[in-house]
Amino acid sequence: MVITFSYVIFIDKGDLYTYLHHDIVGNIINIIAVQALLFFIFHLSFKRVKKQQLYYEQLQQSERLKMVGQLTAAVAHEIRNPVTVVRGFLQLFKEDTSFDDPMKGKFNLMIDDKTQ
C-alpha cells in the first residue's frame, strides 16, 4: 500500500492514476477501512470456527461417554445374571437337610456377601 501510494504521489504525479492523485487522503482512508473491515470479518469467522470445533469435540466426548455407559450397563447385566443364579442355588442348598449346620453357615455368609 505504501509503495503504491508513494509511486502515485512522487513518480506518477497524477499522470496515469489521476483518480488516486486527486484524493490521496480519502483513498488511503478507504483502503485502511477496507483492511480493517476484512480483519473484523476474519476475526469473527475465526471465532465462530473455533466455537464449532469446540462443539464438535464436546459432541464426540458425549458420544464416547454414551457408549461407555451402554457398555458398562451390558457388563453389569452379564455379571448380575450368573450371580443371581448362584445366589438362588445357595438359598436352595441352605434349606437342604443333607447339609450340616457349619456348611449352612457358609451358605449364609456367601448369600450375605453377595448383597453387599
| Contact between residue 93 and residue 107 where contact means Cβ atoms under 8 Å apart | yes
Nearest-5° angle of CA 22, CA 23, CA 27?
135
* C-alpha cell, 72: 458398562
| Contact between residue 70 and residue 63 where contact means Cβ atoms under 8 Å apart | no
Whole-model pTM: value is 0.49
Question: Distance between the two ends of the chain, CA-based, in angstroms?
Answer: 78
Higher pLDDT, 115 or 53: 53
pLDDT tens column, 7-17: 777 788 777 77
pLDDT tens column, 67-94: 999 999 999 988 888 888 888 888 888 8
pLDDT tens column, 49-60: 999 999 999 999
- Of the pLDDT bands very low, low, confident and very high (cuts 50, 70, 90), residue 115 is very low
* C-alpha cell, 83: 450371580
Identify the pLDDT of residue 22.
Answer: 75
